[in-house]
Amino acid sequence: MKKHILVVSQYFYPEQFRINDIASEWVKRGHKVTVLTGIPNYPQGKFYAGYGWFKKRKENWNGVDVIRIPLIARGSNAIGMVLNYLSFVVSGFFWKSFTKVKADVVFTFEVSPMTQALIGVWYAKKHKIPNYLYVQDLWPENVEIITGIRNKAIIGPISKMVNYIYKNCDKIFATSPSFVKQIQKRTPGEEEKVEYWPQYAEDFYQPTDVKSELIPQDGVLNVTFTGNIGTAQGLEILPKTAKLLKERSVKVRFNIVGDGRNKNNLIAQIKAEDVEEYFNLIGQRPATEIPSILASSDVAFLSFANNPLYEMTIPAKLQSYMACGCSIIASAGGETERIIREAGCGLCAPIGDAAELANNICQMANDAALRSMGACARNYFERQFNKKKLMDQMSCYL
């Protein structure tokens, strides 16, 4: 039976999140999909050209009906981000009270902020329909990491809000087994409603022979990072690693493809370590260009900031790298390290260990076999993160 699915997601196309592809896939499978989202402003912190409070508030993209409710752009500081989070949920409260949209099921795509899931709860309660939540970021843990706030007077109410959301979900999907365990601690007696549903990568993430002109081909080892440049990514390890490599006279090029709130800090760190020649800052590119960029690279890179939460996290870029058949080098632990080791597709250094990361990069530079592990990555991807298999699994609930 085909359903009308209301997707609640603060971020949606032209912002680059996997919910874009999930929604499009549901349309292809015959469902009617309405997305309630905000005015696009991620990650730069300002509204995209052509969008605003009074521009392009409704549109149809790939067969998906998109409704954009007002919010305050993220800006470049913590106050702006808080206002951004609050404004979306306030707008959502009024929207659910007056909308004529009648859906059969709610699906909330939860990357921070968790507050957006309140809209899904309120709408589902009002219309007495199933409410599903897909957890990408754990709260309140994520709030503590990003803001540094540990005050119980602030974290306590957020924790209660999270418990309220989980209690009012019929099904909770999580992106890693560790996330499942953490969420189940908050759903006593209802542990079975929490399920591991890993992210897949869009179909255009494939191995390709098409090369990108953005990556120089001059014999220098190309190590490429793609995605958001935020505090969670822990990219400050790269300038430190580059300095160690420079001291050893090892030539490497770190290609950074992306943008984000921490980009200026990264640039400052690169200059402070006097390693500008080790970096190629490309900026944000359309996601469809990433396969050719990776095909022009020797190895893909990912990292995390040093926090126990990230031991439980499987970043979306890991699936993208594996889908493209890339060897991977990482500064990571926990779930990410487990997958890379199970797949036999790369090398992992402990989070924050620049010396070990430098050693691994030297290994990569000197051993062609290590740079040829991409087939293992692709094979693991097909076994564990196959899009059709995962979307079929989700269809059981629609």
Two domains, one topology: 4-197 and 221-383: yes
CATH code for the domain defined by 221-383? 3.40.50.2000
What confidence category does residue 151 fall into, taking pLDDT thresholds of 50, 70 and 90?
A: confident
Q: Where exactly are the structural domains of the chain? A: 4-197, 221-383
Q: Residue 148: pLDDT above 80?
A: no
Mean pLDDT of the chain: 94
Angstrom distances, CA of residue 295 to CA of 111, 248, 365: 29, 27, 17
Q: What is the pTM of this model?
A: 0.87
44/383: higher pLDDT: 383
Most confident of 37-41, 138-142, 366-370: 37-41
* Cβ pair 59, 89 in contact under 8 A: no
Q: How confident is the model at residue 146 (pLDDT cuts 50, 70, 90)?
A: low
Q: Between the CA of residue 225 and those of 19, 65, 243, 254, 329, what are the distances in Å?
A: 21, 33, 18, 7, 10
Split at pLDDT 50, 70, 90, the class of 288 is very high
On whether the CB atoms of residues 102 and 4 are closer than 8 A, the answer is yes
Note the pLDDT tens digit of each residue in 36-82: 999 999 988 899 999 999 899 999 999 999 999 999 999 888 888 88
Encode pLDDT of 225-281 as tens digits.
999 998 889 999 999 999 999 999 999 999 999 998 899 999 999 999 999 999 999
Bond into 177 cis (ω within 30): no
Please name the residue that has the structure tokens 């190629």. 280
Q: What are phi and psi of 193, to 5 degrees?
A: -80, 0
pLDDT digits 0-9 by tens, 165-197: 999 999 999 999 999 999 999 999 999 999 999
Q: Calculate the alpha carbon distances from 177 to 53, 351, 385 in Å.
A: 39, 20, 14
Q: Which amino acid is at 210?
A: V
Q: What is the pLDDT of residue 147?
A: 67
Alpha helices (H) along the chain: 19-28, 78-98, 117-127, 141-147, 152-167, 177-184, 237-247, 263-272, 290-295, 308-311, 316-323, 334-343, 354-366, 374-384, 387-395
Fill in the DSSP letter of residue 109: E
pLDDT score recorded for residue 150 = 74
Q: Which CATH code is given to the segment(s) 4-197?
A: 3.40.50.2000
